[in-house]
Amino acid sequence: MVGRRATEKTEVQDDDNRGKSKKTKVLNETEERRTDEQHNYHSEDDQEFEEGDGAQPIGEVLRVSNDGVEKKKHFKAFEFDRNRFELEDTVLVAPEEGKVKPSVTIIKDIFQTEGGSLMVCTQRFYRPEEAKNKAGGTWESRDARELFYSYHLDEVPANAVMHKCMIHCVPLHKPLLDRRQHPGFIVRKFYDYVEQQVQNLTDKECKYVLPDQHLPKE
C-alpha cells in the first residue's frame, strides 16, 4: 500500500516537472521571439536612418551614361547634411587618408551608380605645398590663401563634401584682394600636375576658371 502511494506520488511529481519544463520551454521560446522581433525592429530603424542620413540627389535625371553595372544617372544637385550642392560649386572635400587639410575643388559632375552610391567628380585646386616642382621640392607661395588651378579630376563619395568655399581668380598683374573684404582663396596660376610646372593665368583664363565671379574694378 505504501509502495503504491509512493509510486503515485512520484508519478504526480513527474507530471508536475514535465509541466514546469513545458512551461519554461514556452517562456524561453516566447522570449527568444520577442528578442528577435526587437532586433529586427531596431535593425530596420538603423538601416532607414543610415539610408536617410546620406547624400541624396535632387531633381530629375539630366542624363544616363554607360550600361549594365557601369550605368550612371547624372544630376544637377544633391543634398547632404541639410546643405544643397550644385554643379560648379566650389567646395571643400574631406581630407584623404594621411592628409590634414581638406581638398579645395569644383563640382563638375554628380552621378549615382547602379548600386545606389552617390558620387561627385571634382576638379582639384592644388595648394603650393602639395604641388611638386619638376626641379625638385614644391612650389612656393606668395600668399597663404593661394591655390593653383589644375585639370586634375577625382571621384569621391558625395558625403565627403564638407561645405562651400569662396575662391577668387586674380590675374598676376592685378593686386591681391583685401582678405577682410573678400575672404576666401586666391588663384593666380595654373599647375600642370603631369609636367609639374606652373604658369600665370590671364584675365581671359580667369573668366574660364570661375565664370561666375565678379572681381572689383581697379
Strands 146-157, 185-192: pairing is parallel
Do residues 172 and 200 lie in contact, with contact meaning Cβ atoms separated by under 8 Å? yes
65 burial (CB, 10 Å; 0-12 / 13-18 / 19+) is: exposed
Question: Are the CB atoms for 157 and 151 separated by under 8 Å?
Answer: no
Res 18: pLDDT: 56
Tell how strand 77-80 and strand 56-58 pair up.
Answer: antiparallel
pLDDT (0 to 100) of residue 28: 52
Mean pLDDT by groups of 10 residues along the chain of 218 residues: 49 53 49 47 38 81 92 97 95 85 96 95 95 91 90 96 94 85 92 94 88 56
pLDDT of residue 181: 86
In terms of Cα–Cα distance, which of 209, 129, 200 is closest to 169? 209
Q: Quick one: pLDDT at residue 138?
A: 92
* pLDDT for 43: 39
pLDDT of res. 141: 84
CB atoms within 10 A of CB 24: 10
Q: What is the largest CA-CA distance in the chain?
A: 122
The CATH number for 56-209, chosen from 3.90.1570.10, 2.30.30.490, 2.30.40.10, 3.90.1300.10, is 2.30.30.490
Query: Whole-model pTM?
Result: 0.71
Q: What residue segments make up the domains of the chain, in order of their start?
A: 1-53, 56-209
Q: How far apart are the first and last CA of the chain?
A: 122
